[in-house]
């Protein structure tokens, strides 16, 4: 996975919410809107790191019958439908264990997945997964948090692909403000990291993106997009209203990440 390294936009979608076909459409829209990497979230019954928005989306996707192997295959289908940017599979550890660690990597490789992120697998427990990651060449994305402190060096120096900084204490969600100490935290992380440093958790406004972009190499936007998908979900599921809903989604995304991109004027075109 080769990344541009600056002003990256990394959106997160829950696989299968509100329907697997719609997830592919949304991924294509995100690519068109300038996404650099897509994080494809695998729905889980007990998502410990997630707030209510992603919990609800996960429940909807699980109702659709989404599973870890199906989510990986969905990434493969995204490729067939024209998604060219890297796709990261975001999954909790337990589904990986049930599929089997080796099968997980084999299936991911087969479906041209570009990396994996396991939010409840801290560095100390990750040895078997890092070994498989090295064998298959699929990077395991690491996370650092504001509480990491002296752990940052150890984690950052081994990071692959990009390094995901958790913006603040807490679970995923939309936040009005981000902590003031975030710049120092990001500066410290950048000091140790050899890969691009991106920030996620809570980012939901273009003002936040504007401020953050000076201090990191990109942003992850999850709950804000998932909430938008939730809002549009009925229209996304109806053939007659789908395109309109996808346009509205693109418009929302472009405004949100406008500070990262120049010349993104899709919304204005739509308005004209």
Partner 1 sequence: MYNVPNENGRFGEFGGKFVPETLMRPLEEIERALNEALIDASFREEYMHSLREYSGRPTALTFAENITKQLNGARLYFKREDLNHTGAHKINNAIGQALLAKRMGKKKLIAETGAGQHGVAAATVAARFGMECIVFMGEEDIKRQELNVFRMKLLGAEVVPVYSGNRTLKDATNEAIRYWVQHCDDHFYMIGSVVGPHPYPKMVREFQRIIGDEAKEQFIKREGKLPDVVVACVGGGSNAIGMFYPFLEDDVELVGVEAAGKGIDTPYHAATITKGTKGVIHGSMTYLLQDEYGQITEPYSISAGLDYPGVGPEHAYLASIGRVRYESVTDEEALEAFQQLAREEGIIPAIESAHALAKAFQIARQRSKDETVLVCLSGRGDKDVQAMMTHLKGASEHAFIGN
C-alpha dihedral sign at 220, 155, 126, 36:
positive
Count of residues engaged in binding partner 1, rule: CB under 8 A: 40
Marked catalytic residue, from 17, 25, 36, 39: 39
Q: What is residue 201's DSSP assignment?
A: S
Angstrom CA distances, 132 to 25, 40, 73, 104, 222, stand at 31, 20, 19, 10, 27
Residues pairing with 8 in the sheet:
218
Q: Which residues, numbered 85-124, are part of the site for partner 1 (CB under 8 A)?
A: 92-99, 119-124
Active site residue 39: yes
Among 144, 163, 220, 226, binds partner 1 (CB under 8 A): 144
The CA angle 196-97-48, to the nearest 5 degrees, is 65
Write the binding mask 38 to 77 for partner 1: x where contact by CB under 8 A, - elsewhere: ------xxx-xx-xx--x------x----xxx--------
Write the binding mask 166 to 195 for partner 1: x where contact by CB under 8 A, - elsewhere: x--xxx------------------------
| Residue 147 sits in the site that holds partner 1 (CB under 8 A) | yes
Among 63, 81, 131, 149, binds partner 1 (CB under 8 A): 149
Marked catalytic residue, from 50, 217, 230, 254: 50
Which is nearer to partner 1, 46 or 135 (by Cβ)?
Answer: 46
Which is nearer to partner 1, 89 or 236 (by Cβ)?
Answer: 89
Which is nearer to partner 1, 100 or 137 (by Cβ)?
Answer: 100
Which is nearer to partner 1, 93 or 244 (by Cβ)?
Answer: 93
Spell out the residues 6+ positions from residue 54 whose beta carbon is closer than 8 angstroms to its own: 14, 41, 47, 172, 222, 223, 226
C-alpha dihedral sign at 177, 162, 134, 31:
positive
Which is nearer to partner 1, 83 or 132 (by Cβ)?
Answer: 132
Spell out the residues 6+ positions from residue 164 whose beta carbon is closer than 8 angstroms to its own: 117, 141, 142, 143, 144, 198, 199, 200, 220
Chain residues in the site for partner 1 (CB under 8 A): 44-46, 48-49, 51-52, 55, 62, 67-69, 92-99, 119-125, 143-149, 151, 155, 166, 169-171
Q: Which residues are catalytic?
A: 39, 50
């Amino acid at each position: 996975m080769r990344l541009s390294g600056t002003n990256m936009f990394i959106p997160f979608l829950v696989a299968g919410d509100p329907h697997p076909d719609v997830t592919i459409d949304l991924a294509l829209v995100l690519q068109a809107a300038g996404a650099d990497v897509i994080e494809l979230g695998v729905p889980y019954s007990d998502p410990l790191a997630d707030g209510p928005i992603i919990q609800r989306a996960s429940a909807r996707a699980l109702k659709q019958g989404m599973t870890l192997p199906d989510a990986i295959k969905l990434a493969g289908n995204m490729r067939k439908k024209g998604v060219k940017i890297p796709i990261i599979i975001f999954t909790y550890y337990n589904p990986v264990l049930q599929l089997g660690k080796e099968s997980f990597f084999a299936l991911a490789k087969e479906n041209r997945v570009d990396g994996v992120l396991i939010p409840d697998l801290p560095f100390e427990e990750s040895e078997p997964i890092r070994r498989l990651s090295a064998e298959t060449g699929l990077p395991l994305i690491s996370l650092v948090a504001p509480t990491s402190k002296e752990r940052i060096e150890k984690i950052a120096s081994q990071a692959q692909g990009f390094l995901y900084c958790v913006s603040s204490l807490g679970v995923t969600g939309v936040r009005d403000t981000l902590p003031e100490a975030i710049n120092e935290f990001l500066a410290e992380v950048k000091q140790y990291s050899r890969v691009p440093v991106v920030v996620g958790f809570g980012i939901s406004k273009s003002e936040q993106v504007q401020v953050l972009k000076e201090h990191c190499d990109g942003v992850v936007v999850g709950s804000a997009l998932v909430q938008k998908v939730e809002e549009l979900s009925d229209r996304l599921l109806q053939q007659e209203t789908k395109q309109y809903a996808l346009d509205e989604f693109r418009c929302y995304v472009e405004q949100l990440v406008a500070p990262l991109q120049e010349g993104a004027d899709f919304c204005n075109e739509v308005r004209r």
